[in-house]
Structure 1
């Protein structure tokens, strides 16, 4: 496991389960940052209760739609890490308003694009110095999540080949992050992360490690 990891959108769903399994693993990160928009809100209660039991879990406030918030959090993380660097960034925060083509609006499109596309790039940019520092300190060759890696969580719906307009209402996606299979899927995600190599750079993989078409 990496020395330091950050998960965005960590107050619920897959983000929360990632924090749980990383935090209580056999080789947990020394620093496990759980980023969420409202750490003091009722929506972060489960995360806060978990963090009380694991001293390596540090909850940080980050609104991924706010550039100032991203930069402030990046600076806070760097202060904690000092010279260690950040080994693993998991861009998990995302939104899906659902609905079909008849109900879509420009506002919904822009909000979705801002959170799901622009935000991961801006978060990665803000934390790039810490990621590069970790890569230099690792002494390892090639690509791995223990050196320095950025993982962008997506959906099977991102595959144009596998997802067409006929199932565009996306009802299944809206409940997927809170489904009964959440724990199993996160176990698979962590197994995939552990065996990533340079050959996997830029690939679209599912939680089983199987390559998906774009």
Structure 2
């Protein structure tokens, strides 16, 4: 049975990945922080693991909790958004929280998973088009933009390190109607995740290290 690991599955995009993979009969392991979210994951038949990606101590326990398991698909969803207008200087606390969650967390979590890759494995990091420099035409939420640009750099390095072991891509999930995206966003979470899952299923070696929209189209770094 195919096995997916969803990092950050308490709500929104992560929770929808769990729902859709489970609906197709996949075995799913998923992480969340709170007891309520963990219970909801277990109710869907997923193996639920408590993980706070901003805590070094919590992350340090992840590898041994996955001992003996390998994954066909790994999706790193966990992240935060601090909205800002213009070039408003972030506070130290907002900078640290955003960079810890969006950049330091995947730098800590993903290297632990290199021994958990099934043959032909695929890794997707949920990023954002807002992190693209080539496609950028606005400055709102520039702290978030900076963090996602840095997360894309992390994914690119992972793709080089894991070449031959996994196909690794960064995704813009679209502007999605979630708690983070807001009610006025363009697409529903079901369509976003369904699109990314289709792209993940079709990934091949030549796709390693790409930055993709949820529909598979290329996004410039």
TM-score bucket (shorter structure): 0.7 to 0.9
Q: Does structure 1 residue 176 correspond to structure 2 residue 181?
A: yes
TM-score by length of 2: 0.75
Structure 1 unaligned runs (5+)? 136-146
CA deviation string 1:141-162 (max 9, x = no partner): xxxxxx2222111011011132
Aligned counterparts of 2:141 and 2:65: Cα–Cα separation in 1: 40
Structure with greater strand share of residues: 2
Q: Residues 16-165 of structure 1 correspond to what in structure 2 (within 5 A)? A: 16-25=15-24, 28-30=25-27, 32-38=28-34, 40-41=35-36, 44=37, 48-49=39-40, 51-54=42-45, 57-78=46-67, 82=68, 84-100=69-85, 101-102=87-88, 104-131=90-117, 134-135=118-119, 147-165=120-138
Describe the shift of the 1:66–1:50 C-alpha distance in structure 2 as closer, same or farther (beyond 3 A): closer
Gaps of 5+ in 2: 145-174
**1:94–1:115 CA contact under 8 A, matched in 2:** yes
2:158 maps to none
Runs of 4+ with deviation above 6 angstroms: none
Q: How many residues align?
A: 185
Contact kept in structure 1, 2:6 and 2:30, CA below 8 Å: yes
Question: Does the 8 Å CA contact 1:70/1:126 hold for their aligned counterparts?
Answer: no
What's the RMSD between the two structures over aligned residues?
Answer: 2.4
Higher relative contact order (CA 8 A, sep 6+): 1
Question: Bigger radius of gyration, 1 or 2?
Answer: 1
Q: Which structure dedicates a bigger proportion of its chain to helix?
A: 1
